[in-house]
Structure 1
Amino acid sequence: MSQALHPMLNTAIKAARSAGTIINRASLDLDRLQINRKAPNDFVTEVDHAAEAAIIETLLGAYPGHGINAEESGRTHGTSSSEYVWIIDPLDGTTNFLHGFPVYAVSIALAFRGQVQQAVVYDPARNDLFYASKGRGAFLNDKRIRVSKRTRLADCLLGTGFPFRRGDNFQRYLKMMEVMMPLCAGLRRPGAAALDLCYVAAGWYDGFFETGLKPWDMAAGSLMITEAGGLVGNFTGNADFLERGEVLAASPRIYGQLVQLLSPFTSVVNEEAAAPPEAARAAELTPEAALGAVLDDTARPAPAAAEAPAAPKLKPPVRIRKVPAPE
Protein backbone atom coordinates (compact mmCIF):
# COMPACT_ATOMS: atom_id res chain seq x y z
CA MET A 1 0.00 0.00 0.00
CA SER A 2 1.47 3.35 -0.97
CA GLN A 3 -0.09 5.49 1.76
CA ALA A 4 0.43 5.00 5.48
CA LEU A 5 -2.59 3.27 6.98
CA HIS A 6 -3.86 3.35 10.53
CA PRO A 7 -2.41 0.38 12.47
CA MET A 8 -5.88 -0.90 13.34
CA LEU A 9 -6.89 -0.72 9.69
CA ASN A 10 -3.76 -2.63 8.72
CA THR A 11 -4.70 -5.34 11.22
CA ALA A 12 -8.22 -5.52 9.78
CA ILE A 13 -6.83 -5.87 6.25
CA LYS A 14 -4.57 -8.70 7.39
CA ALA A 15 -7.55 -10.43 9.01
CA ALA A 16 -9.74 -9.98 5.92
CA ARG A 17 -7.11 -11.41 3.59
CA SER A 18 -6.60 -14.37 5.90
CA ALA A 19 -10.34 -15.10 5.79
CA GLY A 20 -10.34 -14.59 2.02
CA THR A 21 -7.69 -17.27 1.61
CA ILE A 22 -9.89 -19.74 3.50
CA ILE A 23 -12.91 -18.81 1.37
CA ASN A 24 -11.05 -19.08 -1.94
CA ARG A 25 -9.64 -22.47 -1.02
CA ALA A 26 -13.11 -23.76 -0.13
CA SER A 27 -14.62 -22.37 -3.35
CA LEU A 28 -12.55 -24.89 -5.32
CA ASP A 29 -14.59 -27.82 -3.94
CA LEU A 30 -18.03 -26.63 -2.87
CA ASP A 31 -19.51 -30.14 -2.93
CA ARG A 32 -17.52 -31.14 0.12
CA LEU A 33 -18.76 -28.32 2.33
CA GLN A 34 -20.81 -29.00 5.44
CA ILE A 35 -23.88 -26.76 5.31
CA ASN A 36 -26.35 -25.93 8.08
CA ARG A 37 -29.51 -23.85 8.08
CA LYS A 38 -29.87 -21.08 10.63
CA ALA A 39 -33.37 -20.49 9.26
CA PRO A 40 -35.18 -21.13 5.96
CA ASN A 41 -32.99 -19.71 3.15
CA ASP A 42 -30.39 -18.60 5.71
CA PHE A 43 -27.29 -20.79 5.51
CA VAL A 44 -24.05 -21.13 7.44
CA THR A 45 -21.11 -23.30 6.45
CA GLU A 46 -17.91 -24.52 8.02
CA VAL A 47 -16.23 -21.87 5.88
CA ASP A 48 -18.15 -19.10 7.68
CA HIS A 49 -16.95 -20.47 11.02
CA ALA A 50 -13.35 -21.00 9.90
CA ALA A 51 -13.11 -17.54 8.33
CA GLU A 52 -14.61 -15.91 11.42
CA ALA A 53 -12.19 -17.78 13.70
CA ALA A 54 -9.24 -16.61 11.61
CA ILE A 55 -10.45 -13.00 11.74
CA ILE A 56 -11.01 -13.03 15.50
CA GLU A 57 -7.63 -14.68 16.12
CA THR A 58 -5.86 -11.94 14.12
CA LEU A 59 -7.78 -9.06 15.70
CA LEU A 60 -7.54 -10.21 19.31
CA GLY A 61 -3.92 -11.22 18.79
CA ALA A 62 -3.18 -7.55 18.11
CA TYR A 63 -5.82 -6.01 20.41
CA PRO A 64 -6.74 -8.49 23.16
CA GLY A 65 -8.70 -5.89 25.10
CA HIS A 66 -11.15 -5.11 22.29
CA GLY A 67 -14.72 -6.36 21.99
CA ILE A 68 -16.13 -8.54 19.22
CA ASN A 69 -19.56 -8.56 17.57
CA ALA A 70 -19.52 -11.32 14.95
CA GLU A 71 -22.30 -12.85 12.86
CA GLU A 72 -21.71 -16.48 13.82
CA SER A 73 -20.33 -16.23 17.37
CA GLY A 74 -21.99 -13.03 18.54
CA ARG A 75 -20.21 -11.34 21.45
CA THR A 76 -18.73 -14.46 23.04
CA HIS A 77 -15.17 -13.37 22.21
CA GLY A 78 -13.20 -10.35 23.34
CA THR A 79 -13.86 -7.91 26.16
CA SER A 80 -17.53 -7.03 26.48
CA SER A 81 -16.84 -3.76 28.33
CA SER A 82 -14.40 -2.34 25.75
CA GLU A 83 -15.17 0.93 23.97
CA TYR A 84 -13.59 -0.64 20.87
CA VAL A 85 -15.80 -3.24 19.15
CA TRP A 86 -14.97 -5.13 15.96
CA ILE A 87 -18.11 -5.83 13.87
CA ILE A 88 -17.50 -8.86 11.68
CA ASP A 89 -19.26 -10.69 8.85
CA PRO A 90 -16.86 -13.46 7.77
CA LEU A 91 -18.79 -14.29 4.59
CA ASP A 92 -21.47 -11.89 3.43
CA GLY A 93 -23.32 -13.61 0.59
CA THR A 94 -23.13 -17.23 1.78
CA THR A 95 -25.92 -18.34 -0.56
CA ASN A 96 -24.04 -16.86 -3.53
CA PHE A 97 -20.87 -18.62 -2.38
CA LEU A 98 -22.62 -21.98 -2.12
CA HIS A 99 -23.83 -21.70 -5.71
CA GLY A 100 -20.48 -20.58 -7.10
CA PHE A 101 -21.92 -17.14 -7.85
CA PRO A 102 -18.86 -14.91 -7.28
CA VAL A 103 -20.46 -12.08 -5.31
CA TYR A 104 -19.53 -12.40 -1.64
CA ALA A 105 -17.17 -10.66 0.74
CA VAL A 106 -15.49 -10.43 4.12
CA SER A 107 -16.65 -7.38 6.09
CA ILE A 108 -14.80 -5.99 9.13
CA ALA A 109 -15.47 -2.70 10.90
CA LEU A 110 -14.10 -1.16 14.10
CA ALA A 111 -16.43 1.00 16.15
CA PHE A 112 -15.21 3.26 18.97
CA ARG A 113 -17.95 4.38 21.37
CA GLY A 114 -20.53 3.35 18.80
CA GLN A 115 -19.00 5.23 15.85
CA VAL A 116 -17.37 3.29 13.00
CA GLN A 117 -13.74 4.38 12.66
CA GLN A 118 -12.11 1.74 10.43
CA ALA A 119 -13.59 -0.45 7.69
CA VAL A 120 -12.52 -3.22 5.34
CA VAL A 121 -14.58 -5.12 2.79
CA TYR A 122 -12.64 -7.74 0.87
CA ASP A 123 -13.98 -9.49 -2.23
CA PRO A 124 -11.82 -12.65 -2.49
CA ALA A 125 -13.24 -13.74 -5.84
CA ARG A 126 -12.06 -10.53 -7.54
CA ASN A 127 -9.25 -9.74 -5.10
CA ASP A 128 -10.83 -6.31 -4.56
CA LEU A 129 -10.01 -4.60 -1.28
CA PHE A 130 -12.19 -1.70 -0.16
CA TYR A 131 -11.01 0.16 2.94
CA ALA A 132 -11.57 3.41 4.79
CA SER A 133 -10.50 5.28 7.92
CA LYS A 134 -12.71 8.00 9.37
CA GLY A 135 -11.65 11.37 8.02
CA ARG A 136 -9.12 9.91 5.56
CA GLY A 137 -11.23 8.86 2.57
CA ALA A 138 -12.28 5.56 1.04
CA PHE A 139 -10.16 3.44 -1.28
CA LEU A 140 -10.34 0.47 -3.63
CA ASN A 141 -7.01 -1.29 -4.19
CA ASP A 142 -5.04 1.87 -3.29
CA LYS A 143 -7.14 4.16 -5.49
CA ARG A 144 -9.39 6.84 -3.96
CA ILE A 145 -13.09 6.27 -4.65
CA ARG A 146 -16.02 8.70 -4.63
CA VAL A 147 -19.78 8.48 -5.08
CA SER A 148 -21.29 9.24 -8.48
CA LYS A 149 -22.12 12.73 -9.69
CA ARG A 150 -25.47 11.93 -11.30
CA THR A 151 -28.36 14.13 -10.19
CA ARG A 152 -31.35 12.73 -12.10
CA LEU A 153 -32.95 9.61 -10.67
CA ALA A 154 -33.93 8.52 -14.18
CA ASP A 155 -30.22 8.16 -15.00
CA CYS A 156 -29.38 6.16 -11.87
CA LEU A 157 -28.51 2.51 -11.35
CA LEU A 158 -29.71 1.40 -7.92
CA GLY A 159 -28.92 -1.65 -5.84
CA THR A 160 -31.28 -3.38 -3.43
CA GLY A 161 -31.88 -6.65 -1.61
CA PHE A 162 -34.95 -8.88 -1.59
CA PRO A 163 -36.57 -10.35 1.52
CA PHE A 164 -35.85 -14.04 1.91
CA ARG A 165 -36.61 -15.00 5.52
CA ARG A 166 -39.88 -16.38 6.78
CA GLY A 167 -41.94 -13.51 8.21
CA ASP A 168 -40.40 -10.83 5.98
CA ASN A 169 -42.82 -8.33 4.50
CA PHE A 170 -42.85 -9.45 0.87
CA GLN A 171 -45.82 -7.28 -0.07
CA ARG A 172 -44.07 -4.11 1.08
CA TYR A 173 -41.09 -4.97 -1.14
CA LEU A 174 -43.33 -5.60 -4.13
CA LYS A 175 -44.85 -2.14 -3.65
CA MET A 176 -41.37 -0.61 -3.38
CA MET A 177 -40.33 -2.31 -6.62
CA GLU A 178 -43.47 -1.05 -8.32
CA VAL A 179 -42.63 2.51 -7.33
CA MET A 180 -38.87 2.43 -7.87
CA MET A 181 -38.39 0.45 -11.08
CA PRO A 182 -40.07 2.93 -13.49
CA LEU A 183 -38.16 5.86 -11.97
CA CYS A 184 -34.54 4.71 -12.38
CA ALA A 185 -32.30 3.39 -15.14
CA GLY A 186 -32.04 -0.04 -13.53
CA LEU A 187 -32.33 -2.03 -10.32
CA ARG A 188 -29.82 -4.71 -9.29
CA ARG A 189 -29.79 -7.36 -6.55
CA PRO A 190 -26.46 -9.23 -6.39
CA GLY A 191 -26.99 -10.48 -2.83
CA ALA A 192 -24.17 -9.15 -0.63
CA ALA A 193 -25.05 -5.91 1.15
CA ALA A 194 -21.47 -5.16 2.25
CA LEU A 195 -20.38 -5.13 -1.39
CA ASP A 196 -23.49 -3.22 -2.48
CA LEU A 197 -22.56 -0.36 -0.14
CA CYS A 198 -19.01 -0.36 -1.48
CA TYR A 199 -20.40 -0.18 -5.02
CA VAL A 200 -22.21 3.02 -4.06
CA ALA A 201 -18.99 4.40 -2.56
CA ALA A 202 -17.14 3.57 -5.79
CA GLY A 203 -19.81 5.26 -7.93
CA TRP A 204 -20.83 2.00 -9.63
CA TYR A 205 -24.30 2.30 -8.11
CA ASP A 206 -25.91 5.67 -7.55
CA GLY A 207 -27.83 4.39 -4.52
CA PHE A 208 -28.72 1.31 -2.48
CA PHE A 209 -31.58 0.39 -0.14
CA GLU A 210 -32.54 -2.70 1.84
CA THR A 211 -34.34 -3.77 5.01
CA GLY A 212 -33.85 -6.73 7.34
CA LEU A 213 -30.09 -6.26 7.68
CA LYS A 214 -27.79 -6.73 10.68
CA PRO A 215 -25.01 -4.39 11.89
CA TRP A 216 -22.30 -6.62 10.43
CA ASP A 217 -23.95 -6.31 6.99
CA MET A 218 -23.77 -2.51 7.05
CA ALA A 219 -21.09 -1.24 9.45
CA ALA A 220 -18.02 -1.36 7.19
CA GLY A 221 -19.89 -0.30 4.07
CA SER A 222 -21.46 2.67 5.82
CA LEU A 223 -18.05 4.22 6.51
CA MET A 224 -17.07 3.63 2.87
CA ILE A 225 -20.13 5.66 1.85
CA THR A 226 -19.48 8.69 4.05
CA GLU A 227 -15.75 8.72 3.33
CA ALA A 228 -16.53 8.63 -0.40
CA GLY A 229 -18.77 11.70 -0.10
CA GLY A 230 -22.15 9.99 0.19
CA LEU A 231 -24.94 9.88 2.73
CA VAL A 232 -26.31 6.90 4.64
CA GLY A 233 -29.30 6.48 6.93
CA ASN A 234 -32.59 4.64 7.15
CA PHE A 235 -35.54 5.17 4.80
CA THR A 236 -36.65 8.32 6.65
CA GLY A 237 -33.18 9.83 6.60
CA ASN A 238 -32.37 9.12 10.25
CA ALA A 239 -28.90 8.01 11.32
CA ASP A 240 -29.90 4.97 13.42
CA PHE A 241 -29.76 2.49 10.53
CA LEU A 242 -27.45 0.05 12.33
CA GLU A 243 -30.04 -0.42 15.08
CA ARG A 244 -33.06 -0.38 12.75
CA GLY A 245 -31.65 -2.83 10.19
CA GLU A 246 -32.87 -0.64 7.35
CA VAL A 247 -30.38 1.22 5.16
CA LEU A 248 -30.46 3.78 2.38
CA ALA A 249 -27.21 5.06 0.87
CA ALA A 250 -26.55 7.32 -2.10
CA SER A 251 -24.78 10.38 -3.38
CA PRO A 252 -26.14 13.50 -1.63
CA ARG A 253 -28.46 14.70 -4.40
CA ILE A 254 -29.90 11.25 -5.11
CA TYR A 255 -30.21 10.49 -1.38
CA GLY A 256 -32.85 13.20 -0.88
CA GLN A 257 -34.94 11.91 -3.77
CA LEU A 258 -34.78 8.34 -2.46
CA VAL A 259 -35.79 9.38 1.06
CA GLN A 260 -38.82 11.04 -0.44
CA LEU A 261 -39.83 7.84 -2.22
CA LEU A 262 -38.90 5.26 0.41
CA SER A 263 -39.91 6.91 3.70
CA PRO A 264 -43.50 5.59 3.43
CA PHE A 265 -42.08 2.06 3.32
CA THR A 266 -40.03 2.29 6.51
CA SER A 267 -40.02 -0.85 8.62
CA VAL A 268 -40.08 1.12 11.88
CA VAL A 269 -43.18 -0.43 13.40
CA ASN A 270 -43.43 1.86 16.41
CA GLU A 271 -43.56 4.91 14.14
CA GLU A 272 -46.11 3.50 11.72
CA ALA A 273 -48.92 3.84 14.24
CA ALA A 274 -48.02 7.49 14.84
CA ALA A 275 -47.46 8.30 11.18
CA PRO A 276 -49.79 10.93 9.67
CA PRO A 277 -52.51 9.63 7.36
CA GLU A 278 -50.74 11.18 4.37
CA ALA A 279 -47.65 9.06 4.99
CA ALA A 280 -49.71 5.91 5.22
CA ARG A 281 -51.53 6.77 1.99
CA ALA A 282 -48.24 7.52 0.25
CA ALA A 283 -47.33 3.85 0.50
CA GLU A 284 -50.31 3.15 -1.74
CA LEU A 285 -49.22 5.60 -4.47
CA THR A 286 -49.37 4.31 -7.99
CA PRO A 287 -46.11 4.46 -9.92
CA GLU A 288 -47.58 7.32 -11.99
CA ALA A 289 -48.38 9.34 -8.86
CA ALA A 290 -44.97 8.64 -7.36
CA LEU A 291 -43.33 9.75 -10.61
CA GLY A 292 -45.33 12.99 -10.49
CA ALA A 293 -44.15 13.67 -6.96
CA VAL A 294 -40.51 13.12 -7.87
CA LEU A 295 -40.71 15.20 -11.04
CA ASP A 296 -42.30 17.99 -9.04
CA ASP A 297 -39.47 17.87 -6.53
CA THR A 298 -36.63 17.56 -9.04
CA ALA A 299 -37.94 20.57 -10.97
CA ARG A 300 -36.66 22.71 -8.09
CA PRO A 301 -32.94 23.64 -7.94
CA ALA A 302 -30.93 20.76 -6.51
CA PRO A 303 -29.36 21.42 -3.11
CA ALA A 304 -25.60 21.76 -2.93
CA ALA A 305 -23.70 18.67 -1.86
CA ALA A 306 -22.66 18.62 1.76
CA GLU A 307 -19.01 19.47 2.38
CA ALA A 308 -18.58 16.78 5.00
CA PRO A 309 -21.37 14.22 4.54
CA ALA A 310 -21.16 12.35 7.81
CA ALA A 311 -24.21 10.80 9.45
CA PRO A 312 -27.40 12.50 8.21
CA LYS A 313 -29.21 14.79 10.58
CA LEU A 314 -32.29 13.51 12.32
CA LYS A 315 -35.41 14.67 10.57
CA PRO A 316 -39.05 13.64 10.28
CA PRO A 317 -40.22 11.54 7.33
CA VAL A 318 -40.54 13.51 4.13
CA ARG A 319 -44.15 13.79 3.03
CA ILE A 320 -44.87 12.81 -0.56
CA ARG A 321 -47.72 14.80 -2.09
CA LYS A 322 -50.20 12.73 -4.02
CA VAL A 323 -50.64 14.26 -7.47
CA PRO A 324 -52.82 13.15 -10.33
CA ALA A 325 -51.22 11.02 -13.02
CA PRO A 326 -50.58 12.89 -16.29
CA GLU A 327 -53.21 12.41 -18.90
Structure 2
Amino acid sequence: MNLEHLTLLAGQAVQETATFIRAETGRVQAGQIEEKFLNGLVSYVDRTAEEMLVERLSNLLPEAAFITEEETVAQQNAELQWIIDPLDGTTNFLYGLPHFSVSVGLKAGDDLVLGIVHHVPQDEMFYAWQGGGAWCNGQPIRVSSRAEMRQALISTGFPYHNFSRADEWFAALREFMAEGRGARRFGSAALDLAWVAAGRFDVFFEYGLNSWDVAAGAVLVREAGGYATDFSGGGDFIEKKEMLACNEGVFEKALKVVRENFGG
Protein backbone atom coordinates (compact mmCIF):
# COMPACT_ATOMS: atom_id res chain seq x y z
CA MET A 1 0.00 0.00 0.00
CA ASN A 2 1.48 3.31 -1.12
CA LEU A 3 0.56 5.55 1.81
CA GLU A 4 1.74 8.76 0.18
CA HIS A 5 -0.41 8.19 -2.89
CA LEU A 6 -3.37 7.10 -0.76
CA THR A 7 -3.04 10.21 1.41
CA LEU A 8 -3.13 12.49 -1.62
CA LEU A 9 -6.20 10.73 -3.04
CA ALA A 10 -7.96 10.77 0.32
CA GLY A 11 -7.08 14.45 0.57
CA GLN A 12 -9.03 15.11 -2.60
CA ALA A 13 -12.09 13.49 -1.02
CA VAL A 14 -11.61 15.62 2.09
CA GLN A 15 -11.25 18.76 -0.05
CA GLU A 16 -14.53 18.02 -1.86
CA THR A 17 -16.26 17.51 1.46
CA ALA A 18 -14.81 20.72 2.88
CA THR A 19 -16.12 22.61 -0.17
CA PHE A 20 -19.61 21.28 0.55
CA ILE A 21 -19.43 22.26 4.22
CA ARG A 22 -18.16 25.72 3.36
CA ALA A 23 -21.09 26.22 0.96
CA GLU A 24 -23.58 25.27 3.69
CA THR A 25 -22.14 27.67 6.27
CA GLY A 26 -24.89 29.92 7.60
CA ARG A 27 -27.69 28.02 5.82
CA VAL A 28 -28.74 25.55 8.50
CA GLN A 29 -32.08 26.41 10.08
CA ALA A 30 -32.98 25.84 13.74
CA GLY A 31 -35.44 23.08 12.82
CA GLN A 32 -32.66 21.18 11.05
CA ILE A 33 -30.51 20.83 14.18
CA GLU A 34 -30.74 17.87 16.55
CA GLU A 35 -29.21 17.29 19.98
CA LYS A 36 -27.82 13.73 20.07
CA PHE A 37 -26.82 14.06 23.73
CA LEU A 38 -26.11 16.92 26.13
CA ASN A 39 -24.56 19.69 24.01
CA GLY A 40 -23.91 17.23 21.17
CA LEU A 41 -25.38 18.93 18.10
CA VAL A 42 -25.78 17.50 14.59
CA SER A 43 -27.38 18.60 11.33
CA TYR A 44 -27.80 17.36 7.78
CA VAL A 45 -24.41 18.91 7.02
CA ASP A 46 -22.59 16.44 9.31
CA ARG A 47 -24.45 13.48 7.86
CA THR A 48 -24.13 14.48 4.22
CA ALA A 49 -20.43 15.23 4.67
CA GLU A 50 -19.93 11.80 6.21
CA GLU A 51 -21.81 10.09 3.39
CA MET A 52 -19.60 11.90 0.85
CA LEU A 53 -16.44 10.74 2.60
CA VAL A 54 -17.63 7.16 3.00
CA GLU A 55 -18.51 6.90 -0.70
CA ARG A 56 -15.21 8.33 -1.91
CA LEU A 57 -13.00 6.48 0.56
CA SER A 58 -14.79 3.20 -0.17
CA ASN A 59 -13.74 3.59 -3.78
CA LEU A 60 -10.12 4.04 -2.72
CA LEU A 61 -10.01 1.06 -0.35
CA PRO A 62 -13.00 -1.24 -0.90
CA GLU A 63 -11.72 -3.67 1.74
CA ALA A 64 -11.59 -1.06 4.53
CA ALA A 65 -14.21 -0.72 7.27
CA PHE A 66 -15.39 2.50 8.89
CA ILE A 67 -15.67 4.05 12.32
CA THR A 68 -17.58 7.32 11.96
CA GLU A 69 -19.14 9.81 14.32
CA GLU A 70 -22.58 9.97 12.70
CA GLU A 71 -22.82 6.23 11.95
CA THR A 72 -24.20 6.69 8.43
CA VAL A 73 -22.49 3.40 7.56
CA ALA A 74 -22.14 0.11 9.44
CA GLN A 75 -19.46 0.36 12.13
CA GLN A 76 -17.15 -2.61 11.69
CA ASN A 77 -13.69 -3.83 12.58
CA ALA A 78 -11.23 -4.83 9.89
CA GLU A 79 -7.50 -4.87 9.21
CA LEU A 80 -7.94 -1.50 7.47
CA GLN A 81 -10.27 0.98 9.10
CA TRP A 82 -11.11 4.58 8.20
CA ILE A 83 -11.84 6.72 11.27
CA ILE A 84 -13.88 9.78 10.35
CA ASP A 85 -15.23 12.93 11.93
CA PRO A 86 -17.00 14.67 9.04
CA LEU A 87 -17.37 17.95 10.93
CA ASP A 88 -15.32 18.43 14.08
CA GLY A 89 -16.55 21.60 15.73
CA THR A 90 -20.23 21.32 14.79
CA THR A 91 -21.27 23.83 17.44
CA ASN A 92 -18.80 26.38 16.07
CA PHE A 93 -20.15 25.74 12.56
CA LEU A 94 -23.76 26.18 13.61
CA TYR A 95 -23.04 29.33 15.65
CA GLY A 96 -21.03 30.99 12.90
CA LEU A 97 -17.63 30.62 14.54
CA PRO A 98 -15.00 30.03 11.80
CA HIS A 99 -13.18 27.14 13.45
CA PHE A 100 -14.22 23.64 12.37
CA SER A 101 -12.65 20.81 10.44
CA VAL A 102 -12.89 17.52 8.61
CA SER A 103 -10.83 14.71 10.15
CA VAL A 104 -9.91 11.42 8.45
CA GLY A 105 -7.53 8.81 9.84
CA LEU A 106 -6.61 5.34 8.65
CA LYS A 107 -5.74 2.46 10.94
CA ALA A 108 -3.89 -0.61 9.66
CA GLY A 109 -3.95 -3.36 12.26
CA ASP A 110 -2.95 -1.68 15.50
CA ASP A 111 -1.23 1.28 13.86
CA LEU A 112 -2.53 4.67 12.82
CA VAL A 113 -0.84 5.21 9.46
CA LEU A 114 -2.50 8.19 7.79
CA GLY A 115 -4.08 11.39 9.00
CA ILE A 116 -5.79 14.36 7.32
CA VAL A 117 -7.30 17.37 9.08
CA HIS A 118 -8.80 20.13 6.97
CA HIS A 119 -9.48 23.56 8.52
CA VAL A 120 -12.54 24.36 6.43
CA PRO A 121 -12.83 28.16 6.86
CA GLN A 122 -9.12 28.75 6.20
CA ASP A 123 -8.80 26.02 3.53
CA GLU A 124 -5.73 24.59 5.27
CA MET A 125 -5.09 20.91 4.66
CA PHE A 126 -2.87 19.21 7.25
CA TYR A 127 -1.82 15.69 6.28
CA ALA A 128 0.69 13.01 7.16
CA TRP A 129 1.42 9.36 6.52
CA GLN A 130 3.58 6.90 8.40
CA GLY A 131 7.23 7.63 7.67
CA GLY A 132 6.43 10.55 5.36
CA GLY A 133 6.52 13.54 7.67
CA ALA A 134 3.73 16.07 8.18
CA TRP A 135 2.54 18.69 5.72
CA CYS A 136 0.19 21.64 5.33
CA ASN A 137 -0.86 22.78 1.85
CA GLY A 138 2.25 21.27 0.32
CA GLN A 139 4.72 22.64 2.87
CA PRO A 140 6.44 20.54 5.57
CA ILE A 141 5.44 21.30 9.16
CA ARG A 142 7.17 20.58 12.44
CA VAL A 143 6.30 20.84 16.13
CA SER A 144 7.75 23.84 17.92
CA SER A 145 11.23 23.85 19.40
CA ARG A 146 10.22 25.60 22.60
CA ALA A 147 11.72 23.75 25.55
CA GLU A 148 10.49 25.77 28.53
CA MET A 149 6.99 25.44 29.92
CA ARG A 150 7.05 29.18 30.61
CA GLN A 151 7.05 29.71 26.83
CA ALA A 152 4.49 27.01 26.05
CA LEU A 153 1.05 27.84 24.67
CA ILE A 154 -1.51 25.31 25.91
CA SER A 155 -4.62 24.09 24.12
CA THR A 156 -7.44 22.09 25.64
CA GLY A 157 -11.09 21.22 25.33
CA PHE A 158 -13.61 22.16 28.03
CA PRO A 159 -15.76 19.35 29.43
CA TYR A 160 -19.21 19.91 27.87
CA HIS A 161 -21.14 16.70 28.48
CA ASN A 162 -18.80 14.32 30.36
CA PHE A 163 -18.00 15.88 33.72
CA SER A 164 -16.66 12.72 35.38
CA ARG A 165 -13.10 14.08 35.53
CA ALA A 166 -13.85 17.79 35.56
CA ASP A 167 -12.14 18.40 38.90
CA GLU A 168 -8.96 16.74 37.67
CA TRP A 169 -9.14 18.71 34.43
CA PHE A 170 -9.53 22.03 36.27
CA ALA A 171 -6.56 21.19 38.48
CA ALA A 172 -4.38 20.36 35.47
CA LEU A 173 -5.51 23.48 33.63
CA ARG A 174 -4.75 25.64 36.65
CA GLU A 175 -1.23 24.22 36.78
CA PHE A 176 -0.67 24.69 33.04
CA MET A 177 -1.96 28.27 33.24
CA ALA A 178 0.34 29.05 36.15
CA GLU A 179 3.40 27.55 34.49
CA GLY A 180 2.77 28.22 30.79
CA ARG A 181 2.37 31.18 28.45
CA GLY A 182 -1.42 30.85 28.38
CA ALA A 183 -4.29 28.53 27.50
CA ARG A 184 -6.71 28.46 24.58
CA ARG A 185 -9.91 26.55 23.79
CA PHE A 186 -11.18 26.70 20.20
CA GLY A 187 -13.60 23.78 20.01
CA SER A 188 -12.04 21.29 17.55
CA ALA A 189 -9.69 18.69 19.00
CA ALA A 190 -8.62 17.63 15.50
CA LEU A 191 -7.47 21.17 14.72
CA ASP A 192 -5.82 21.52 18.12
CA LEU A 193 -3.68 18.50 17.26
CA ALA A 194 -2.95 19.82 13.77
CA TRP A 195 -1.80 23.08 15.31
CA VAL A 196 0.50 21.23 17.72
CA ALA A 197 1.97 19.51 14.66
CA ALA A 198 2.42 22.89 12.98
CA GLY A 199 4.12 24.43 16.03
CA ARG A 200 1.29 26.86 16.78
CA PHE A 201 0.47 25.16 20.07
CA ASP A 202 3.04 23.47 22.28
CA VAL A 203 0.74 21.31 24.42
CA PHE A 204 -2.74 19.87 23.99
CA PHE A 205 -4.60 17.85 26.61
CA GLU A 206 -8.20 16.69 26.89
CA TYR A 207 -10.28 13.79 28.20
CA GLY A 208 -13.59 12.35 26.97
CA LEU A 209 -12.36 12.10 23.38
CA ASN A 210 -13.50 9.60 20.76
CA SER A 211 -11.34 7.88 18.18
CA TRP A 212 -12.57 10.16 15.38
CA ASP A 213 -11.47 13.21 17.39
CA VAL A 214 -7.83 12.16 17.61
CA ALA A 215 -6.92 9.45 15.07
CA ALA A 216 -5.84 11.81 12.29
CA GLY A 217 -4.29 14.37 14.60
CA ALA A 218 -2.16 11.79 16.38
CA VAL A 219 -0.53 10.85 13.06
CA LEU A 220 0.11 14.52 12.32
CA VAL A 221 1.77 15.18 15.67
CA ARG A 222 3.97 12.09 15.58
CA GLU A 223 5.08 12.64 11.99
CA ALA A 224 5.84 16.28 12.86
CA GLY A 225 8.27 15.12 15.55
CA GLY A 226 5.99 15.37 18.57
CA TYR A 227 4.41 13.07 21.14
CA ALA A 228 0.80 11.86 21.19
CA THR A 229 0.08 9.73 24.26
CA ASP A 230 -2.45 8.93 26.93
CA PHE A 231 -2.11 10.58 30.35
CA SER A 232 0.33 7.88 31.45
CA GLY A 233 2.64 8.46 28.51
CA GLY A 234 1.51 5.30 26.75
CA GLY A 235 -0.22 4.69 23.45
CA ASP A 236 -3.71 3.81 24.68
CA PHE A 237 -5.23 7.23 24.06
CA ILE A 238 -8.11 5.86 21.96
CA GLU A 239 -9.07 3.19 24.50
CA LYS A 240 -8.70 5.58 27.46
CA LYS A 241 -10.40 8.48 25.61
CA GLU A 242 -7.68 10.94 26.63
CA MET A 243 -4.86 12.68 24.84
CA LEU A 244 -1.66 14.54 25.62
CA ALA A 245 0.14 15.95 22.59
CA CYS A 246 3.19 18.18 22.66
CA ASN A 247 6.66 18.82 21.35
CA GLU A 248 9.74 17.01 22.62
CA GLY A 249 11.01 19.93 24.69
CA VAL A 250 8.07 20.15 27.09
CA PHE A 251 6.79 16.58 26.94
CA GLU A 252 8.18 15.37 30.27
CA LYS A 253 6.95 18.48 32.08
CA ALA A 254 3.50 18.29 30.52
CA LEU A 255 3.25 14.55 31.22
CA LYS A 256 4.06 15.19 34.87
CA VAL A 257 1.16 17.67 35.09
CA VAL A 258 -1.48 15.36 33.62
CA ARG A 259 -0.15 12.24 35.34
CA GLU A 260 -0.23 13.84 38.78
CA ASN A 261 -3.62 15.49 38.33
CA PHE A 262 -5.43 12.69 36.50
CA GLY A 263 -3.70 9.86 38.35
CA GLY A 264 -2.24 8.34 35.20
Normalised TM-score (structure 1): 0.77
Corresponding residue number in structure 1 for 2:28: 30
Give the superposed CA RMSD: 1.7
Q: Determine helix, strand or coil for the equivalent of 2:29.
A: helix
Q: 1:156 to 1:52 in 2, by over 3 A?
A: same
Q: State the partner residue of 1:40.
A: 38
Q: Residue 235 of structure 2 corresponds to which residue in structure 1?
A: 239
Which digits, 9 at most, give the CA deviation of each residue in 1:39-88, with x for residues without a partner? Answer: 111111110000000000001122221111111117606xx453110000
Query: Quick check: 1:143 aligned with 2:123?
Result: no
- 2:194 is paired with a residue whose SS is helix
Q: Secondary structure at the match of 2:228?
A: strand
Question: CA 1:130–1:265 in structure 2 vs 1: closer, same or farther (change >3 Å)?
Answer: same
Alignment of 1:55-70 (within 5 A): 55-70=53-68
CA deviations on 1:72-107 (whole Å, 9 max, x unpaired) are 117606xx4531100000000001111110111000
Could you tell me how far apart the structure 1 residues matched to 2:61 and 2:151 are?
45
3-state secondary structure, aligned to 2:93: helix
Cα distance in 2 between the residues matched to 1:8 and 1:65: 14
Task: Find the structure with the greater CA-based Rg.
Answer: 1
Match of 1:220 among 195, 216, 220: 216
State the match for 1:10 in structure 2: 8
Q: CA deviation at 1:169?
A: 3.0
Alpha-carbon shift at residue 245 of structure 1 (Å):
0.7
Matches within 5 A, 1:1-327: 6-31=4-29, 34-73=32-71, 76=74, 80=76, 82-266=78-262
The TM-score with structure 2 as length reference comes to: 0.95
Q: How far off is 1:5 after superposition?
A: 7.1
Post-superposition shift, 1:238?
1.1
Distance 2:121 2:163 in 1: 32
Larger RCO: 1 or 2 (CA < 8 Å, sep 6+): 2
CA shift for structure 1 position 113: 0.3
Task: Indicate if the aligned counterparts of 1:68 and 1:74 stay in contact, CA closer than 8 A.
Answer: no
Q: Select between 128-137 and 59-68 the one with higher mean Cα deviation.
A: 59-68
CA contact (8 A) 1:33 1:45 kept: no
The one-letter code sitting in structure 1 at the alignment partner of 2:93 is F
Distance 2:122 2:69 in 1: 23
Alpha-carbon distance, 1:236 to partner = 1.5
Contact 1:210 1:248 in 2 (8 A): yes
Q: Which has the higher strand share?
A: 2
Structure 1: how far apart are the matches of 2:167 and 2:237? Answer: 22
Number of positions where the alignment pairs a residue of Structure 1 with one of Structure 2 = 263
SS of 1:232's equivalent in the other structure is: strand
After the TM superposition, which segments of 4 or more aligned residues of structure 1 sit over 6 Å from their partners? none
Distance 2:57 2:165 in 1: 37
Q: Structure 1: which 5+ residue stretches go unaligned?
A: 267-271, 273-316, 318-327
Q: Contact 2:51 / 2:72 at 8 angstroms: preserved in 1?
A: no
Percent identity at matched positions?
Answer: 35
Alignment correspondent of 1:295: none
Tell me, what secondary structure is at the counterpart of 1:253?
Answer: coil
